[in-house]
Structure 1
């Protein structure tokens, strides 16, 4: 018997490639402090970093900007092509978290941006441990709407669809064989947006990508009407409030 949630999860996980250009243009980056905190979980110098499930390179670019040697691994050909176009100087390889195309003990840190919830965790963490050097660190990051801001909470509610599910829950306790305890930190972040570009951003979210066209259009129209009523967002550009959550653990 098929599992509807598993089927939906697979559809959502594979929904991004056709929107790779929009994803690269409209998704937010990650705050420098979050990247530095992730790296500081290692008890060895962090020089070589793997960005796993790198997408179009949003996280890759930030890691490279910190002076690290970054290898990006991404399973979706469309996303990987966009990453290579945007960051031609970065080593970029096709591959999955459950079968990482790197040698044993070849990285000091493994970073995962906005993707850990799509992995098959046990084999993925076995692979991550394999490619990490002893004392290296794995860090998973998520950007979230800052729902402590009332108008952001209402906007988030309006864009939910019938296929919205809580696959990403960075607050859930996480354990992995061969790693120490996971530590947790949050960082304030913001994304400079206009009404048009914010709607373009949320249109790249998987629950909208796989929703029916009528539902997607209805949700985006309702969200637009709401944003036009919010004084803070109604004219020009504004800082859309985000929170970046990071989980990190050290390889034993």
Structure 2
């Protein structure tokens, strides 16, 4: 694994601004963003699932979307999140979880403290040149690192149309989930798998979900309102989404790699 950032053609200032944009909408993020399928999480943990006790770190945990799924399968879960507002949401939703402030570049755990690190929808924000050795440090020998990403399935025509409508002049979506998982001094070769997922939405809740995306959060207010109005118009006029509640098809991409 090497190289950062994992977005193509993105200047560091824009990347930093977008990475820090979520805290102001932490409650909406907790309410509107999807969780992760159980089979994706279990596959991510596969190389270490027989360890007892199994110790797992949810890194860049946000409001706890992945943490909550992990708790269905693992008793010993610690969450680390840099944004105070996001961390507060996680603590409110999951009060029994050990939840710590920290970053992927400075993880507040001891050497070899966990058997697995899972990262939901966040690894593309990390400074991987610093984060990879730090993640390797807190992993026990033979531990596993896995990144999970929920992607709207734009092979479905109406989803592809929505993606076009929801684009902005500052959109960038050309990040590469597997780019962080190239063999290197800290981690071995990555494996990739995809899992079907979905989320029940309405036109209004779908627009609210899109409003939590970083490229929308960082728009000027007038442009943001215009974009969300276009989204609502599209969803209310599209047969698959105009009748009330609908299923948003999602593909969850998981890439895992062993500690070197």
TMscore range, shorter length: over 0.9
Q: 1:231–1:223: structure 2 CA closer, same or farther, 3 Å change rule?
A: same
Please list, as runs of the form range in 1=range in 2, the aligned pairs for 1:149-160 lying within 5 A after superposition: 149-160=156-167
Query: Aligned pair 1:120/2:96, yes or no?
Result: no
Q: CA deviation at 1:4?
A: 7.4
Match of 1:141 in 2: 148
Structure 1 residues without counterparts, runs of 5 or longer = none
Q: CA deviation at 1:109?
A: 0.3
Quick check: 1:162–1:211 contact (8 Å CA) kept in 2? no
Bigger mean CA offset, 24-33 vs 157-166? 157-166
- In 1, the alpha carbon distance for the partners of 2:218 and 2:15 equals 10
RMSD, matched Cα: 1.6
Quick check: 2:128–2:180 contact (8 Å CA) kept in 1? no
Aligned match for 2:240, one of 207, 224, 232: 232
**SS of the residue aligned with 1:249?**
strand
Deviation string, structure 1 residues 131-168 (Cα, Å, up to 9, x no partner):
11111100001001101000000101111111112363
Quick check: 1:44–1:108 contact (8 Å CA) kept in 2? no
Aligned length: 250
Using the size of structure 2 for normalisation, the TM-score is 0.92
Deviation string, structure 1 residues 180-205 (Cα, Å, up to 9, x no partner):
10111111110111111111011000
- In 1, the alpha carbon distance for the partners of 2:174 and 2:22 equals 16
Query: Aligned pair 1:45/2:51, yes or no?
Result: yes
**SS of the residue aligned with 2:206?**
helix
Quick check: 1:180–1:250 contact (8 Å CA) kept in 2? yes
Match of 2:210 in 1: 202
Aligned match for 1:11, one of 3, 17, 20: 17
Query: Aligned pair 1:36/2:42, yes or no?
Result: yes
